[in-house]
Chain A
Amino acid sequence: MNESMHLIIAGRTKRRRRFFLVTSLLAIISFALCCTMLMLGNTIYPFSDVISVLLGEKVKGASFAVGTIRFPRMVAGIFAGFAFGVAGTVFQTMLRNPLANPNVIGITAGSSAAAVFCIIVLHASNAFVSIASIIGGLATVIVIFLLSRGASFSIGRLILIGIGIQAMLNAVISYLLLIGQQHDIPTAMRWLSGSLNGAKMENLYPLIITVLIFGPIIIMLGKRLDMLELGEQAATSLGVNTDKTRLALIISSVLIIALATAATGPIAFVAFLAGPIAKRLVGAGFSTIIPAGLVGIILVLASDLIGQFAFAARYPVGVITGILGAPYLIYLLIRMNRKGDL
């Protein structure tokens, strides 16, 4: 008895140590990327200048470049990356499908379509476009959920209907881009591939506030999410109110991802990649929500740095994450096909 207990404690301690080690490491890498982002640019400022600017001191040149351009860019990357990573892993775990991510339930397509419509047809202002994109994303989610509502909750039905609605919205987007005026197209494109360009602090507050409220809620629900993973019946028997838990998780994730999409546009594949990468790194047995959020931050910041500085031309972050994500999607499809999960 005592011996068994020691064996179990030893095993679990080992897994917990790995979890904390990896999570700390991810946090350190995120922090290092933040510093790099603030220092790097057309002019490279030393770390000391960056600190001075952040402390509110006036440094010639650095104050504008770091404080007005690079800092908001970094904040946008952090909050959007965290939101995409967390919401992605929540959906993948809840729907028990690595292909499931917020794109599948239509947020991305919905907000992009609404934004493009407002830009091209209504010639609306930036603030209006952001609000419309949030509403468009949420409305699409609601439509998909209503359509896939049957007698009982079916993951397969949800994913299939999601893909169908997405295809329709993408057709609408393509049509709008065809009829649109030439000078509106670049603005519209920002909503099709995510970018941190032109991030301004005043536009980021809604995202920051939403993530600060709903991020902790999702983290607190992490243990219940783990129970949901055992299936509806087992979770209920263990005392989880599955309907309420699922609803709270969906609302929180949809909100943070809708706000992130409104702030940076859809940054391709981050929601899809962060969860599996985090899980591979920290191992099973512990909630992957926080590590997935950190991996999301790392993916966005690192991709943005690569997009800005690795090539002759500057590419938006969404292009780089797209290049990283596509091979993984193909790998996943091949693996699922072999296992017969598809």
Chain B
Amino acid sequence: MKPTHTFQSEGITAGYDNRTILHDVSISIPSNKISIIIGANGCGKSTLLKTMARLIKPASGQVTLDGKPINKIPPKQLARVLGLLPQSPIVPEGITVADLVGRGRYPHQTFLKGWTKKDYEAVAEAMDMMNITEFADRNIDELSGGQRQRVWIAMALAQQTDILFLDEPTTYLDITYQVEILDLLTDLNRKYGTTIVMVLHDINLSARYADHIFALHHGKLVAEGEPAKVITSKLIEDVFGLHCTVVKDPVSDSPSVVPIGRYHNKLRMYS
């Protein structure tokens, strides 16, 4: 099992250029759990994720890992504990699946040395877990969107970090693949105790797969906790401005948001 870490943001304010997106957000990531950040477009979900993963420097406040500010930790050492899969990483031309997954080993490798047995083991394990071993020698360009996403996640797995951040890992994927990816990430959390933090668009899938939800609105944290307590029609109204009713997901018993639009409203007929 992966060790426990205290990973916190302490009053971070961050943004791009002069535009502040995140206002004074303090959160603590539950160790060895799956956390999902939800919120409307432009509310700062991705910014929070990126700031915590040291891709954006906060204007004020700091992010600490086990009490130490992350910008004080040597980059390679930090990369062995904390990994992030960006929303749209770039595929180098002509690279094979195995070589791309192998790039996740960079923080474990020393200068000029080739792959060690440990590197091969980590790559094989990650590829097996993502069911992409059969594509090992194929060119990435030949794969479908869902397969590609599994390759990227395998690269992040090969990094063997205790904490894994994913920025919208299911975007652009068909619903079947979205569920597949979320199942695989849950496997990872259950099997190794990897702390997973991700940004997801789908509230219902978030409610089902998350142990812990962070809800953001206009760059501020408005609610956090287990999905059953956090996801209420009031919160969804506040955060997304969506009129809705929350029911129990028949499959998982997790809260499920049913939107109410201006049409097709059977409830209104009786009220």
Assess A237 versus B84: contact at CB under 8 Å? Given A12-B115, A230-B103, A284-B93: yes
Q: How far is the CA of A233 from the CA of B82 in the complex (A)?
A: 13
A-B contact count (CB 8 A): 109
Can you offer 17 A-B residue contacts whose CB atoms are under 8 A? A4-B128, A4-B136, A8-B133, A9-B120, A11-B96, A11-B98, A11-B137, A12-B99, A15-B99, A223-B112, A226-B92, A230-B90, A232-B55, A237-B86, A237-B165, A239-B79, A239-B107
Residues of B near A11 (CB, < 8 A) are 96, 98, 136-137
Q: Closest CB-CB distance, A139 to chain B, in whole Å? A: 28
Minimum Cβ distance to chain B for residue A224 (Å): 8
A200 at the interface (CB under 8 A from B): no
A228-256: which have CB < 8 Å to B?
A: 229-234, 236-241
Q: Does B39 contact A (CB under 8 A)?
A: no
| Residue pair B111, A220 in contact (C-beta under 8 Å) | yes
- B residues 102-120 near A (Cβ < 8 Å) are 102-104, 106-107, 109, 111-112, 114-115, 120
Smallest beta-carbon distance B216→chain A, Å: 20
Which residue from chain A places its CB closest to the CB of B90 in the assembled complex?
Answer: A231
Task: Check if B103 sits within 8 Å of A4, measured CB to CB.
Answer: no
Instruction: Enumerate B53-99 residues with CB–CB distance to A below 8 Å.
Output: 53-55, 75-80, 82-86, 88-90, 92-96, 98-99
B124 contacts which of A1, A233, A237, A241 (Cβ < 8 Å)?
A: A1
B123 contacts the other chain (Cβ, under 8 Å)? yes
Q: How far is the CB of A285 from chain B (nearest CB, A)?
A: 4
Map CB proximity to B onto A1-34 as digits: 1 under 8 Å, 0 otherwise. 1001101110110011000000000000000000
Residue of A with least CB distance to B17: A151
Instruction: Flag whether B22 is at the interface (Cβ < 8 A).
Output: no
Flag A198-239 by CB within 8 Å of B: 1 or 0 each: 000000000000000000000010010011011111101111
Most A CB atoms within 10 A — which of B75, B84, B102, B128?
A: B75
Residues of B within 8 A of A232 (CB): 55
Residue contact B128 to A8, C-beta cutoff 8 Å: no
Chain A residues near B120: list those with CB within 8 A: 5, 8-9
The CA-CA distance from A270 to B109 in the complex, in Å, is: 33
**Which B residues are closer than 8 A to A by beta carbons?**
16-17, 50, 53-55, 75-80, 82-86, 88-90, 92-96, 98-99, 102-104, 106-107, 109, 111-112, 114-115, 120-121, 123-125, 127-128, 133, 136-137, 159, 165
The reply to whether A234 and B124 form a contact with Cβ atoms under 8 Å apart is no
A1 touching B128 in the complex, CB below 8 Å, given contacts A7-B133, A230-B89, A237-B79: yes
Q: What CA separation (Å) do A1 and B127 show in the bound complex?
A: 10
A41 within 8 A of B: no
* In the bound complex, CA of A165 to CA of B82 (Å): 42
Does A279 make an interface contact (CB < 8 A)? yes
Chain A contact residues, majority secondary structure = helix
| B159 cross-chain contacts in A, Cβ below 8 A | 238
Complex: A237 Cα to B85 Cα, angstroms: 8
Tell me, yes or no, whether A157 is within 8 Å of chain B by CB.
no
Q: Judge whether B53 and A237 touch: CB under 8 Å.
A: yes
Report the bound CA distance from A113 to B183 in whole Å.
61
A151 to B106, CA, bound (A): 28
Q: How far is it, in angstroms, between the C-alpha of A234 and the C-alpha of B17 when the chains are bound? A: 21
* Cross-chain contact of A238 among B99, B104, B111, B115 (Cβ < 8 A): B104
Contacts of B90 in A (CB 8 A): 96, 229-231, 234
Q: Give me 17 other A-B pairs in contact (C-beta within 8 A), A237-B53, A239-B79 excluded.
A: A8-B127, A11-B137, A151-B17, A152-B16, A223-B111, A229-B90, A230-B103, A231-B86, A231-B90, A232-B55, A233-B50, A233-B86, A234-B90, A237-B79, A239-B76, A279-B94, A284-B93
A residues in contact with B133, CB < 8 Å: 4, 7-8
Does A325 interact with chain B (Cβ within 8 Å)? Answer: no
**B107 → chain A, closest Cβ, in Å?**
4
- For A7, the chain B residues whose CB sits under 8 A away are 124, 133, 136
Within 8 A of B (CB), among A272-299: 279, 283-285
Q: Is B106's CB under 8 angstroms from A238's CB?
A: yes
State whether A12 touches B98 (Cβ < 8 A): yes
Cα-based distance from A185 to B79 in the complex (angstroms): 57
- Contact of A284 with B92 in the complex, beta carbons under 8 Å: yes
Contact partners of B136 in chain A: CB under 8 A: 4, 7-8, 11
Contact at B107–A226, with CB atoms within 8 Å? Answer: no
A12 to B114 Cα, complex, angstroms: 11
The 7 closest A-B pairs by CB, nearest first: A239-B79, A284-B94, A233-B86, A239-B76, A285-B99, A237-B84, A5-B124
Residue in A closest to B94 when the chains form the complex, CB atoms: A284
What residues of chain B lie closer than 8 Å to A226, measured between beta carbons? 92, 103
Q: Measured between alpha carbons, how far is A241 from B55 in the docked complex, in Å?
A: 11
Smallest CB gap from A14: residue in B = B137
Give Cα distance in the complex from A110 to B103, angstroms: 37
> Quick check: B89 and A233 within 8 Å, CB to CB?
yes
Contact B95 A284 (CB under 8 A): yes
B112 adjacent to A238 (CB under 8 Å): no
Cα-based distance from A241 to B86 in the complex (angstroms): 16
B16 & A238 in contact (Cβ 8 Å cutoff)? no
List of A residues within 8 angstroms of B93 by Cβ: 279, 284
The interface residues of chain B lying within 8 Å CB-to-CB of A239 are 75-80, 106-107
Chain A residues closer than 8 Å to B54, beta-carbon distance? 236
Given A4-B133, A12-B115, A229-B92, decide whether A238 and B107 contact each other with a Cβ distance below 8 A.
yes
- How far does the alpha carbon of A229 sit from the alpha carbon of B91 in the complex, in Å? 8
**Residues on the A chain within 8 Å of B95, using CB:** 284-285
Q: Measured between alpha carbons, how far is A52 from B77 in the docked complex, in Å?
A: 54
Chain A residues near B98: list those with CB within 8 A.
8, 11-12
Contact present for A240 and B75 (CB under 8 Å): yes
